Amino acid sequence: MAQPDYSNSKYGAFALTIACLIVAAFAGNFCDEMDITFGGERAKILNGGQDLYLSLDQYSGSGFQSKNEYLFGRFDMQLKLVPDNSAGTVTTFYLSSQSTGRDEIDFEFLGNSTGNPYTIHTNVYSQGKGDKEQQFHLWFDPTAAFHTYTILWNSQRIIFYIDDIPLRVFNNHEAIGVSFPKSQPMKVYSSLWNADDWATQGGRVKTDWTKEPFTASYRKFNANANKVSPDSKSTSSRNENQAWRTQGLDAAGRNRIRWVQNKYMIYNYCNDYNRFPNGLPVECTRPRFL
Per the annotation, the verdict on 174 as an active-site residue is: no
Distance, CA of 8 to CA of 42 (rounded, Å): 11
Q: How far apart are the first and last CA of the chain?
A: 27
Per the annotation, the verdict on 283 as an active-site residue is: no
Indicate the residue type of 233.
K
Distance, CA of 160 to CA of 75 (rounded, Å): 10
* Catalytic choice (33, 69, 104, 283): 104
CB 59 within 8 A of CB 34: no
Prior bond of 213 cis (ω within 30°) = yes
The string of DSSP letters for 149-179 reads: EEEEE-SSEEEEEETTEEEEEEE--GGGT--
* Catalytic choice (33, 69, 108, 283): 108
Distance, CA of 286 to CA of 275 (rounded, Å): 19
Cα angle, residue 165 at apex, residues 126 and 140 outer, rounded to 5°: 110
Q: Which residues are catalytic?
A: 104, 108
